[in-house]
């Protein structure tokens, strides 16, 4: 039996399994830490059930992919180099004088860290290679809407309990949450902040900002919908507004900052287009707009930017009224000159302590870092004085048996993979940024995926200061779809070029 027949047989037998696994991955994305799976993996907090379906997808899809010999998309190469650098750095870590930390082993930390990187990379590769045509990409966008609707519906139910019932959740909601998260919904955090199906509010903001909101915003701006519109209103329009409400009431400062950066970028890109559109719409009524001087045009631009600034100010003011941390962050009086004191005043000094450790480790080992998972071994050596005024840090030092992490991907990457690994990771993001910009010039659904990719990367730049785990799948899935879309667009261009060449080389007709 030749290779083509084997490939055809495997596709027929395994396609239903692969299709089911792909659907299940997207539908289970809202859940970040299922208790049963967490216990199986050693009581880890990051235990998304989508990992199980990812395993079945790879089990069924990998043989088909290898037999097809299509090769991985070119956008994947910088990531593969980063993984190689991470492996080399982790291997060399055994020759470094890493300080002991409460009996934890280097090998154990590296295995756990490598596992999380493997999970994230597997999400990316599976997504970028399976969703290879426009029909599959459209199906993926529909699944994002469905799983996003589940997030919004459950989170708004929590919001009703918080605002109306003062955080007194009914027993049935607690039981549902206990099936889907290792943290009970009766936890004090959930009485004032939305958590969705996640472990904590910042994770809810992360999944919204790196996957769901980028697509809903891109679809709204480009007029695209994965489903049929009703009265020119799409499901994405509704989910965008609802998702923003959920994001605001998660009270994640990094999450809010991430979306504001995305919004600022969208305004910057669409500003001139919006001005031209407004002028063309009203020029037939107010002829003066067709004869506007450059000074008047500049004044109109300034007025528009002031309106944008006012809207952002109103949004921040609203959040400050409901979140004392944002209120202190926006207060301009008595700003400390010392950065640590400023961080202490606005209640993110703990995060700065974690970040400081990562950056201090990078300063000591700048080339290749200390290997994945090993930055925490230096934690007690790099504690600033303010750390001894923070209960969280003192509890971590005195009671927690595990090795601390950096709490930020932008502190972790340089500390654990050095400037070489960091450069490769940034290069991968830049390649996907360029791919997204290129896709914006294509037809739907490639165009909406291009906008989605640029929005996701911008959001990840901010979200990376709050999350350092590779295992959260949202950015990997988002960028995997962008990679798949870019590969599909290249195939379209190649097919078009091939057809053009065929037309040019076709013999001329001799008939008259």
- Enumerate residues 6+ apart whose C-beta is below 8 A from 206: 255, 463, 466, 467, 472, 474
Per the CB < 8 A criterion, the answer to whether 197 and 165 are in contact is: no
The DSSP letter of residue 301 is H
| Average pLDDT taken over every residue of the chain | 84
What's the rounded Cα separation, in Å, for the pair 365 and 370?
7
What's the rounded Cα separation, in Å, for the pair 10 and 28?
26
Whole-number pLDDT of residue 478? 96
Whole-number pLDDT of residue 316? 66
pLDDT tens readout for residues 403-447: 998 999 999 999 999 999 999 999 999 999 999 999 998 888 999
3-state SS class at 120: helix
- Enumerate residues 6+ apart whose C-beta is below 8 A from 38: 44, 45, 47, 182
- Enumerate residues 6+ apart whose C-beta is below 8 A from 8: none
3-class secondary structure for 370-389? Answer: CCCCCHHHHHHHHCCHHHHH
Backbone φ and ψ for 118, nearest 5 degrees, come out as -65, -40
Is the backbone peptide bond immediately before 445 cis, with ω within 30 degrees of 0? yes
Enter the pTM of the model.
0.86
What's the rounded Cα separation, in Å, for the pair 159 and 227?
27
Whole-number pLDDT of residue 509? 34
Closest by Cα among 217, 314, 191 to 270: 217
What's the rounded Cα separation, in Å, for the pair 263 and 252?
16
How far are the Cα atoms of 134, 143, 204, 470 from residue 73, in angstroms, in the given order? 16, 23, 30, 21
Confidence of residue 76 (pLDDT cuts 50, 70, 90): very high
The DSSP letter of residue 508 is P
Whole-number pLDDT of residue 510? 30
- Average pLDDT of the residues in 362-383: 92
* Inter-helix orientation angle 409-439/349-364, to 10°: 90
pLDDT tens readout for residues 6-63: 556 666 667 777 888 889 999 999 988 877 776 666 666 676 788 888 888 888 777 7
Confidence of residue 89 (pLDDT cuts 50, 70, 90): very high
Whole-number pLDDT of residue 318? 67
pLDDT tens readout for residues 436-476: 999 998 888 999 999 999 999 999 999 999 888 898 899 99
The answer to whether residue 126 scores a pLDDT higher than 80 is: yes
How far are the Cα atoms of 239, 268, 313 from residue 310, in angstroms, in the given order? 24, 15, 5
What's the rounded Cα separation, in Å, for the pair 193 and 158?
9
């Amino acid at each position: 039996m030749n290779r083509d027949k084997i490939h055809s047989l495997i596709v027929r037998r395994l396609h239903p399994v692969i299709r089911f696994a792909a659907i299940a991955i997207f539908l289970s994305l809202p859940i970040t830490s299922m208790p049963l799976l967490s216990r199986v993996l050693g009581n880890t907090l990051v235990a998304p059930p989508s990992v199980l379906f990812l395993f079945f997808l790879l089990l069924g899809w990998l043989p088909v992919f290898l037999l097809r010999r299509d090769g991985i998309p070119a956008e994947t190469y910088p990531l593969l180099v980063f993984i190689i650098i991470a492996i080399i750095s982790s291997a060399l870590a055994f020759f470094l004088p890493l300080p002991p930390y409460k009996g934890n082993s280097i090998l154990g930390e590296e295995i756990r860290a490598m596992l999380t990187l493997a999970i994230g990379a597997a999400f990316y590769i599976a997504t970028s290679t399976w969703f290879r045509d426009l029909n599959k990409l459209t199906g993926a966008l529909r699944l994002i809407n469905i799983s996003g609707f589940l997030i919004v519906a459950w989170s708004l139910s929590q919001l009703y309990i918080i605002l109306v019932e003062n955080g007194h959740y009914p027993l049935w909601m607690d039981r549902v949450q206990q099936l889907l998260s290792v943290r009970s919904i009766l936890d004090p955090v959930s009485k004032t902040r939305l958590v969705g199906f996640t472990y904590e509010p910042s994770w809810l903001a992360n999944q919204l900002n790196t996957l769901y909101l980028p697509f809903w915003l891109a679809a709204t701006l480009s007029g695209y919908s994965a489903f049929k519109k009703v009265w020119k209103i799409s499901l994405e329009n509704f989910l965008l507004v609802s998702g923003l409400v959920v994001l605001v009431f998660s009270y994640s400062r990094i999450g809010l900052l991430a979306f504001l950066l995305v919004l600022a970028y969208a305004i910057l890109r669409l500003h001139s287009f919006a001005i031209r559109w407004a002028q063309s719409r009203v020029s037939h009524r107010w002829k003066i707009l067709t004869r506007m001087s450059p000074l008047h045009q500049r004044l109109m631009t300034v007025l528009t930017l002031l309106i944008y600034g006012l809207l952002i100010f109103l949004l921040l003011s609203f959040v400050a009224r409901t979140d004392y941390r944002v209120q202190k962050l926006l207060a301009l009086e008595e700003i400390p000159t010392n950065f640590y004191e400023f961080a202490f005043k606005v209640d993110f000094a703990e995060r700065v302590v974690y970040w400081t450790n990562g950056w201090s480790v990078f300063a000591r080992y700048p080339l290749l870092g200390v290997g994945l998972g090993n930055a925490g071994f230096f934690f007690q050596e790099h504690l600033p004085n303010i750390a001894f005024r923070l209960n969280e840090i003192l509890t971590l030092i005195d009671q927690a048996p595990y090795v601390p992490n950096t709490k930020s991907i932008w502190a972790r990457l340089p500390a654990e993979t050095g400037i070489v690994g960091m450069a490769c990771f940034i290069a991968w993001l830049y390649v996907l940024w360029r791919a997204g910009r290129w896709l914006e010039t294509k037809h739907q659904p490639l165009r909406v995926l291009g906008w989605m990719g640029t929005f996701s990367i911008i959001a990840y730049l901010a979200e990376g200061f709050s999350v350092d785990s590779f295992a959260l799948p949202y950015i990997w899935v988002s960028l995997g779809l962008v990679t798949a879309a870019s590969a599909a667009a290249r195939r379209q261009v190649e097919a078009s070029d091939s057809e053009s060449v065929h037309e040019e080389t076709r013999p001329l007709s001799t008939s008259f």
